Amino acid sequence: MTRRARPLEPERAPRLDLLTLLGPAPVDALWEAEKAGWRAFVMGHGGSGYRRGSARHEAWQRGFEAAAASHDPVGLML
């Protein structure tokens, strides 16, 4: 005789909220600034809009310099 699995009762079933899973992820401001620096290099803009010395300005500068050092900045643009 084979045993059949019983379905979980609603209160014990794992609750998956699809909207939560598919919703927007938290924004990482430093990553966005780094991407903006890369895009600025590709588009030919040379100045950051962030306050000098701020973490976002440094992230922008990292992205700009990484694009400048890249062999194919347009092809690798995020």
> Could you give the CA distance from residue 28 to residue 1 in angstroms, rounded to a whole number?
56
> Could you give the CA distance from residue 6 to residue 18 in angstroms, rounded to a whole number?
24
Which CA distances in Å does 6 have to 2, 9, 30? 13, 9, 49
25 against 14, higher pLDDT: 25
> Could you give the CA distance from residue 13 to residue 5 in angstroms, rounded to a whole number?
14
Torsional sign, CA 64, 65, 66, 72: positive
| pLDDT tens profile 17-74 | 777 778 888 899 999 999 999 999 999 998 899 999 999 999 999 999 999 999 999 9
